[in-house]
Structure 1
């Protein structure tokens, strides 16, 4: 089979179609390697003898010249077999293969020196000339190493030529150890669709330097040279060793010149053999992500280790991530409740595979069904309850306000009261920045839920610590803007934005859930914890970046259209209401919001009223009572603005009396 390939390859060479056929030889066979090494041994003997003959140096035992050479070959080949110098695949040779050649040839030299010494003692003169042995050693080692390096480069060159037209020509950013390791991994992985074409750096002292056979380009010189840019297809960033500002700068320069932007993990994150496979396109999440948050794992672990934990809404974006993170702390049981059948089943399959040692209980249930919930609470003695179940989509809830009451208010009320009744240690509610000065039913219903949870803290007989966490949008959550934009871009546009000036805060799902777990260990109960969301992001800028990262030009390849604010939607979200103050905590990313409180009797009475209105599906009455519970709720771009006008007229009438 191999001989046929060799004949085919050389036949193709004769006929001119050499590149494709020769590269079909995956490696040089072992027997051929050892044959070439033996030829190198013979040639090294010949060269060393020629050298000494030229100097008119006479060797010992000339009459046994043939026997001496056979002995040398036998000793050298024996050590080749011992150290298996022929076993490695030559086109993947490393220093270790060179080291084996040194060991083999060095052992040969030492053995011959011992033989020489023995013949001197027995026969009075050495079998070989000592300088001849050392010269032979140097020549043979150099030629074996040279043979391997030439073969390695030959295969690499042919493979590069074969796939040059289809491979992505990348410029690796940086010339440090990590960048060089990544570049070397690209060169050694010919089956991947990338080809190293050069290096980019901020430094200006490396313009004449060559690294791994490729040029190093200064950033300013590179991006100013249109002819040079055409020799590349993409810029490859190593995200973990670069700051957000550096990533944004390189991304902007590359996209403006029509280059793709790729990212890669570092060698510490992945084995070198898998490194090239980890290369992917830079995503908008990489630019919005912030520095890792410091989590006090010991405190969080002690709250969960060997405890029974309940997560409502456990199949959702936030709930499922809470379950994943809690699973790392080895609780005795995690009960996951959700009313969405398919997502709950998919989560079950994922978690059982990822955490085979962890005990889970997956329960299909609606939190508005108090009898069903009480059966669950009575069965398990929960230590921690994470309440993440909620309806959250603003426009849909604006159309169906009674549904928000059933889940966001009644559901929260059921879970919170049962937590108190069954002496749960800590109840942690996941809320939203839309609950602050709400302009829509969804946000107002979450604020009403916050008020109910807070009011339970100081009720008679309560031993549960009721904690609320409040944060903004999370990247990649179900129905969020980034997956929505990505789908629109994949379809060719247009990308739809409600308003050119709309801004939002963003946080990654894991980051948000880490802070939820951290906040759940803090305080005495009754607090609302708000998270540092960083700087707000303009949605129009977000859309433009996503379009560019996808390789398109905004408003040329992909149109951006403005469709107007949706019912209840704000231009910007707030984490704190205007009449609150914040108190810092020992964690720099978490603050306590001092919002106005309501007594339990008052909020309980109003919640009963609004639930009755929701059962009757009386939309106006539902929203009217909601505005009573949450006085700062002023509808925006909604049919319920009429209720605000009536209240204003009534208030003005009272003031004029």
Structure 2
């Protein structure tokens, strides 16, 4: 019954709209002129009846005054721009224009009624009529706007029918903003509080969350807008997962800021972020740990223009260091992060000296120059080549930048008396199957070996974690682009899984782990449960309001295609080499116990590696050293064979 009533109402609405809204502008203006003419006459009748106490529609004084009122009104209204605005978008400005026009109408009526003295026309009508006329005009504009936007909802054929999830303050502010969107029709609210089921908010029905499925099915909703910024991440995930099977487009209000400021608009909505699907609450950072190695100190971040490096810089600035050195080899990356940090400080009202250094970590002389000149007290070494297929295809460049860059930075840090040096590592360093992961494991060995050396004053530590959402080369932006292009969405294997964490959370945990370091620790971040990439792709497709095309649904919108595992790629990643990690004072940070190389032996191997890299890029010899240092590393057979051919 509900569906049939909705269909009839929609059909009737479209017929009315086709007659009224689709009229040429001139015809709609003439309709407004005719309505105002009738209201002007009605105002005359009401004014006379109020003044004389007798209801009379036809008389010579009424006819005379009506003729003067109409003759004077239209030129004034046209000059005041009354008929240049669209009635269906009438607001405070429109009412103000009407008030001005009616005020101007009072002047000639005063001249006619008071100076020239129309027979049997009370003088007070020159004021009484414009006041009544203004009230009728304002009521007509508000009534027409309400009828078109709220009852008939002026829309085209591609109207979007939306439901606002959340009947609280944020939802009500959003609904108010939606009234100004001519292409959107608000079907109703949905709220977790079942006591609101059956109630109405500003004339819009409210449904309990237990009726969400029936509501979406009966009313043919296109989009669900989540207006629950105060809900826990776990609850948001439950709602989002419930909406995935409904094939509706889902958008969300990101936070409470706009609600607190009393402004929520359609522009505040964004697509569902993948971190909202992780379902775990971020832990509030420990301010003591956040500031221990940063507040009032000279801090250096290498790879400052990268995904992790740039977020580290944002977090560090908020902790107010004495100065921040940005070390980056990409000119644009360095420029971009410097400009962003400058703007961030302006918004925060703080001043921290920022020093951009355009340099390559793989150049020993450059690192010695930078470290000896600025004497940083805390270093976060995030400079690395991280894209597995590219490093796999360019092993010498990857080994030079990642391993030798770390070695040169460590040497320069010790010489300059750096107090804390933290390496940003990766889960790909655990039993690596690619050159990038193997190179990062060697970087870890360098820091572990130096930390174990007697007399070393620098506290070396490393933090190992998985993928971060939104980083360059991440699957998330690639999937978004493929969905926007109509598909297909490509993934390397349907069973592949990855750990994910947001960039801000990862950066905060890195800083806190650095503050807990005593020397030589391998800190491992709690990444939560691994995410199946195929499930991630399906979720993104469904939350875009589309369906997955597969054997069960051949008429679906977007197909998911497997391209095969890339060289060096694993089906799943690990965070620990050994077992039984130790807990720390932070619930999301663990301390791993890893085997290490003595520095004397490691130093000899690194010299051999450096010689192989310098010797015209001897890939085979370089990789033999890496395999020796990381015995658990199993290089791809295909790549090893290609190197043999290249060497021959």
Q: Is the 8 A contact 2:170 2:264 kept in 1?
A: no
Which one of 177, 185, 203 corresponds to residue 213 of structure 1? Answer: 203
Q: Distance in 1 between matches of 2:458 and 2:444?
A: 15
Instruction: Give the 3-state SS of the residue equivalent to 2:362 in structure 1.
Output: coil
Deviation at 1:281, TM superposition (A): 2.4
Partner residue in 1 for 2:469: 475
How big is each residue's C-alpha offset from its partner over 1:598-636, in whole Å with a ceiling of 9 and x where there is no partner? Answer: 211111111111121122322222222111111221235
CA separation of 1:16 and 1:309: change in aligned 2, threshold 3 A: closer
Assess if the C-alpha contact under 8 Å between 2:240 and 2:277 holds in 1. no
| Distance change (3 Å), C-alpha of 1:301 and 1:228 | same
Please, which runs of 5 or more residues in structure 1 have no aligned partner?
1-12, 51-89, 94-143, 644-657
| Alignment coverage as a number of residue pairs | 536
Q: In structure 2, what is the Cα distance between the partners aligned to 1:324 and 1:289?
A: 25
**1:153, 1:595 → 2: CA distance?**
74
Aligned residue for 2:99? none
Unaligned runs of at least 5 residues, structure 2: 1-16, 55-88, 93-133, 550-555, 644-648
Please report how far the alpha carbon of residue 550 of structure 1 lies from its aligned counterpart in structure 2 after TM superposition. 2.8
Confirm whether residue 586 of structure 1 aligns to residue 592 of structure 2.
no
2:165 to 173, 176, 189: 173
Paired residue secondary structure (1:521): helix
Compute the RMSD of aligned alpha carbons: 3.8
Per the alignment, in what secondary structure is the counterpart of residue 545 of structure 2? coil
1:8 paired residue number? none
Q: Does 1:546 align with 2:536?
A: no
Aligned 1:69-468 pairs, distance under 5 A:
152=142, 154-160=144-150, 161-163=153-155, 168-187=160-179, 189-190=180-181, 194-202=184-192, 204-224=194-214, 228-230=218-220, 232-270=221-259, 271-288=261-278, 290-356=280-346, 357-468=351-462
Q: Quick check: 373-382 or 267-276, which moved more?
A: 267-276
Does the C-alpha gap of structure 1 residues 430 and 158 become closer, same or farther in structure 2, counting only changes over 3 Å?
A: same
Aligned residue for 2:361, secondary structure, equals coil
* 8 A Cα contact 1:172 1:236, kept in partner: yes
Question: 2:63 corresponds to which residue?
Answer: none
Name whichever of 244-253 and 626-635 sits farther off.
244-253
Aligned counterparts, 1:43-58, within 5 A:
none
Which residue of structure 2 aligns with residue 602 of structure 1?
601
The SS at the match of 2:515 is coil
Alignment check: 8 A CA contact 1:209 1:215 kept: yes
In 2, are the aligned partners of 1:19 and 1:162 still within 8 Å (CA)? Answer: no
Alignment of 1:486 onto 2:480: yes
Matched, 1:572 2:572: yes
In 1, distance between residues paired with 2:139 and 2:499? Answer: 54
C-alpha distance after superposition, 1:435-485 (max 9, x if no partner): 111111111110111011111113243211111000000111111111222
TM-score (norm 2): 0.74
Q: Is the 8 A contact 1:19 1:158 kept in 2?
A: no
Shift of 1:402: 1.7
Q: Specify whether residues 453 and 563 from structure 1 end up closer, same or farther in structure 2 by C-alpha distance, changes over 3 A only.
A: same
Q: Structure 2 vs 1, CA of residues 23 and 483 (structure 1 numbering), >3 Å: closer, same or farther?
A: farther
Cα distance in 1 between the residues matched to 2:313 and 2:583: 28
Could you tell me whether the CA contact under 8 Å between 2:463 and 2:522 is conserved in 1?
yes
